Amino acid sequence: MIRHVPLALSILLAGAAEPVLAQTINLDQAINMTLHADPSIKEKQELVESARALLDEVKGHEGVMIDANLFEGLAPAVHGGFFQGGAYTGSTPRTDGPLPDGLSDWTSLQFAVIKPLYTFGKIEAYSEAAEGNIDVKKADVRLRQAEMVKKVKKAWFAYLTSRDLDRLLLDVQSHLNDAISLVKRNLDSNNGQSRQTDLYALQAAQGMLDKYIAQAQAVEKISMEGLKILTGVGMNGELDVTDEDLEPVPLPEGTLDDYKNRALSDRPEMAQVEAGMRARRALIQAHKAEMYPNLYAGVIGEANYASNRSMLNNPFIYDPFNNVGVTPVIGLQWSLEPGVINAQQAQQQAEFDALTFKAQYAQAGIPFEVSEAWNKLHADYDSQRALAQGSAAARRWMIASLADFNAGLEKADKVAEALKTYALTQAEYLQTVDNYNMDVAELAEVTGAPR
């Protein structure tokens, strides 16, 4: 008897049976995924928002300020007039003790509504400093993005390099295994076409080849795991890269001087220095302005009420527990600590001077970084072109040696040498292409170029 499977369980089982397809991406997609997934980029973007909020806080000081204090307390209870017993007795005040009639509840409200009219440039200077801080934080985002783009490219090209190297070595291994099998057959048949030393030579080459294959496969796995982490897929996720061979990227156009000038204008660090100097300059002005008062206008007032105290309707007598008053005001407000202000001003001036020296260092050091990246790039570009030709020649040598060996015209040690030379030359070519591609990425980073 077949029992009915519940519908929900059927759906669950059907979904579990479907294989999880790995996402196949290219380099641009990997970079975009990383830029959207990296927590450190999000952290620095939130710091930009924090800097924007600081600017809003500074500008908020231009608005109306409300200062209020409402509390409930206790006051002496009083009934009757100002003089003793509530009646006139000449000029003798009442003297019936501090608490003549017990205690009363006391409700008190003091308030001030103030609008700054003129602050001698304080708000403007602090706003300029806050805007400079925003630009500094934005440059931090750009720096982190450039760093992550470089990491993705490093993992990407390392994966392609190791994958292509693995395929190359497996191909060479196949040819080597065929040669070993032929030598073993010759030795078994004792036909005199092979010697035991031939087998040893080929087996020695096989050992070295197996080592390089294991290393290439390990780098391939590590690079893929790195890509998974960077793109946000996670080590347990599924990810594939497009089936493309490792190729050298186009040689960047332009002269070395072009890239030097571009770096001095486009590098995030240069933008940071400029924004930092602008902020420090504004803070110096703000601290100078702290020596001056704030001109303001507003309304201040006070209201007090005690239920067990008689209200005095006498303008010459003031009862702090029972009164109401409000008035418009215009005034000057100081909050002055000269020693502190002078120290803060000196601190900002010193930090401004430090940024000036940092800018001078950057203007000298950045062109050197560009020159270093440029020269290394062109060296690796020429190297990979030369190795491409050498690898092609080595492959022809390997194929010709194998053909001669199969025909009994070549010795096994020469075949092993040809196989090893081709494997090493092609491996060196792939590694140099990888280096060259990363040189291009390095040049883009040191010049502040978009990805």
The string of pLDDT tens digits covering residues 203-215 is 888 888 899 899 9
- Cα distances from 388 to residues 159, 422, 425, in angstroms, run 20, 11, 9
Pairing of strands 294-306, 323-333: antiparallel
Among candidate residues 449, 362, 376, 369, the one with its CA nearest the CA of residue 146:
449
- Domain-embedded: residue 8: no
Among candidate residues 336, 338, 333, 238, the one with its CA nearest the CA of residue 294:
333
- The pLDDT value given to residue 85: 52
Categorize the per-residue pLDDT at 6 as very low, low, confident or very high, splitting at 50, 70 and 90: very low
- φ and ψ at 302, to 5 degrees? -150, 145
Query: What CATH number is associated with residue 126?
Result: 1.20.1600.10
Q: Are residues 257 and 347 in the same domain?
A: yes
Looking at 109-123, 272-286, 353-367, 392-406, which range is the least confident one? 353-367
- Domain-embedded: residue 136: yes
Contact 275, 143 (CB under 8 A): no
The string of pLDDT tens digits covering residues 389-440 is 999 999 999 999 989 888 888 888 888 889 889 999 999 999 999 999 999 9
Helices 122-189/268-289 angle, 10° precision: 160
Categorize the per-residue pLDDT at 2 as very low, low, confident or very high, splitting at 50, 70 and 90: very low
- Domain-embedded: residue 13: no
- Domain-embedded: residue 104: yes
- Domain-embedded: residue 357: yes
Task: Read off the pLDDT of each residue in 76-100 and give the average, rounded to a whole number.
Answer: 56
Identity (one letter) of the amino acid at 334?
W
The domain boundary, picked from 276, 309, 333, lies at: 333
Pairing of strands 239-241, 23-25: parallel
The domain boundary, picked from 275, 303, 333, lies at: 333
- Domain-embedded: residue 149: yes
Q: Are residues 359 and 273 in the same domain?
A: yes
The string of pLDDT tens digits covering residues 159-170 is 999 999 999 999
Which domain covers residue 321, as residue numbers? 64-118+294-333
The string of pLDDT tens digits covering residues 32-66 is 999 999 999 999 999 999 999 999 999 998 999 99
User: Which distant-in-sequence residues (6+ apart) come within 8 Å of 314 by Cβ?
Assistant: 82
Total tally of structural domains belonging to the chain? 2
Partners of residue 303 on adjacent β-strands: 109, 324
- Give the containing element (helix H, strand E) for 2: none
What's the CA gap between 387 and 398, in Å, rounded?
Answer: 16
Q: Are residues 159 and 90 in the same domain?
A: no
- Domain-embedded: residue 11: no
Q: Are residues 377 and 287 in the same domain?
A: yes
The domain boundary, picked from 305, 333, 361, lies at: 333
Neighbours of 394 (CB within 10 A): 21
Among candidate residues 429, 14, 123, the one with its CA nearest the CA of residue 247:
429
- Domain-embedded: residue 195: yes
What's the CA gap between 421 and 395, in Å, rounded?
Answer: 9
Q: Are residues 315 and 384 in the same domain?
A: no
Burial class (CB in 10 A: 0-12, 13-18, 19+), 274: middle
The string of pLDDT tens digits covering residues 314-366 is 777 788 898 999 999 999 988 877 888 788 888 888 888 887 887 887 788 88
Q: Are residues 142 and 263 in the same domain?
A: yes
- Cα distances from 385 to residues 107, 247, 426, in angstroms, run 90, 11, 12
Contact 264, 138 (CB under 8 A): no
